[in-house]
């Protein structure tokens, strides 16, 4: 009887609705992330990735470039993945130098952490700054996701913008990715708890809808896949202060799967732009050079 009397109180009803209504994820997926008032990706105390292979460099075909574009490849790919070199050529013909490094997620043997990757991009940017160049950080797929994440670090003043091409690898937004990686995350966490976090093992990843196995240390694997370690893109986007060009393929399933148009609205930095261009997840890259060069021209670069 006392409980029923509470339910007649409109203030109690309002509190119940607020508490229980706001805690539901609705569709049974991951609950919507709440954007904290302040957020940053702090990799300052980490090491810097040191790949065994030097970046692929494509120099401007005209006068000496004043802008260098650093391009990160996608998951299990490389700077020489078939869909990328034409982009380097187009950008070099437009007067830009292109630096395409091997990232820790190249191939099936991953050999670095997320923060090591971000610090490596920092080091490459600093090298270009020493030449008097402005820098644009670009990436495709997983590289595109990390170009956005890089914007939530503390980029040097030489970095003038970010270009994300079909950005992918957003674990917080993918129930499928979480399901595929859950057993491997549990394995990696048990290795870390046992003091074996630097030991290498085989782990599962999801790549363009396919389950694949990679080798990596437990610590490195977790840095890219554990929800409590890898940056939530919902928290990343709103703190980016650099201008962002986000290009999505019109037949790429992740364009709608990740609802990229809505994600982009979280970016509030000036001169940012979202465009849907022709192509699927990989072929859209060949359609990217014209909007990239037009956007860079608009920025005065």
Q: Are residues 100 and 61 in the same domain?
A: yes
Q: Which of 130, 148, 136 is nearest to 100 (CA)?
A: 136
Q: Is residue 15 part of a domain?
A: no
pLDDT tens digits, the chain, 301 residues: what are they? 333 333 334 333 333 333 333 332 222 233 344 444 468 899 988 899 999 999 999 999 989 999 999 999 999 999 999 999 999 999 999 999 999 999 999 999 999 999 999 999 999 999 999 999 999 999 999 999 999 999 999 999 999 999 999 999 999 999 999 999 999 999 999 999 999 999 999 999 999 899 999 999 999 999 999 999 999 999 999 999 999 999 999 999 999 999 999 999 999 999 999 999 999 999 999 999 999 999 999 999 9
Strands 97-100 and 56-58 come out as antiparallel
d(CA 155, CA 178): 30
**Domain encompassing residue 196:** 175-223
Helices (H), the chain: 2-7, 10-21, 85-93, 114-130, 142-150, 175-193, 218-225, 233-236, 253-257, 260-264, 289-298
CATH number at residue 149: 3.40.50.1820
Closest CA to 285 of 82, 116, 54, 120: 82
* Claim to verify: residue 166 and residue 117 sit in the same structural domain: yes
Same domain for 216 and 106?
no
Q: What is the pTM of this model?
A: 0.87
């Amino acid at each position: 009887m006392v409980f029923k009397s509470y339910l007649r109180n409109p203030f109690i009803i309002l509190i119940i609705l607020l508490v229980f209504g706001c805690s539901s994820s609705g569709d049974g997926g991951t609950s919507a992330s709440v954007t904290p008032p302040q957020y940053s990706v702090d990799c300052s105390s980490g090491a810097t990735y040191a790949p065994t292979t030097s970046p692929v460099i494509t120099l401007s075909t005209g006068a000496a470039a004043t802008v260098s574009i650093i391009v990160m490849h996608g998951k299990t790919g490389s700077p020489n993945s078939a869909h990328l070199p034409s982009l380097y050529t187009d950008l070099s013909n437009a007067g830009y130098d292109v630096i395409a490094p091997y990232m820790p997620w190249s191939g099936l043997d991953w050999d670095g952490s997320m923060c090591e990757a971000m610090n490596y991009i920092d080091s490459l940017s600093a090298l270009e700054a020493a030449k008097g160049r402005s820098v644009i950080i670009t990436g495709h797929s997983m590289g595109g996701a990390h170009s956005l994440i890089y914007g939530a670090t503390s980029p040097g003043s030489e970095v003038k913008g970010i270009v994300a091409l079909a950005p992918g690898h957003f674990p917080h937004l993918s129930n499928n990715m979480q399901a595929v990686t859950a057993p491997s995350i549990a394995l990696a966490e048990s290795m870390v708890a046992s003091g074996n976090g630097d030991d290498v093992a085989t782990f599962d990843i999801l790549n363009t809808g396919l389950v694949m196995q990679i080798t990596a240390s437990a610590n490195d694997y977790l840095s890219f896949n554990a929800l409590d370690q890898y940056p939530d893109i919902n928290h990343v986007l709103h703190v980016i202060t650099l201008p962002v060009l986000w290009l999505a393929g019109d037949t790429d399933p992740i364009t709608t799967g990740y609802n990229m148009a809505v994600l982009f609205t979280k970016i509030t930095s000036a001169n940012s732009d979202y465009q849907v261009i022709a192509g699927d997840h990989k072929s859209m890259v060949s359609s990217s050079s014209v909007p990239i060069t037009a956007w860079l021209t608009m920025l005065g670069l």
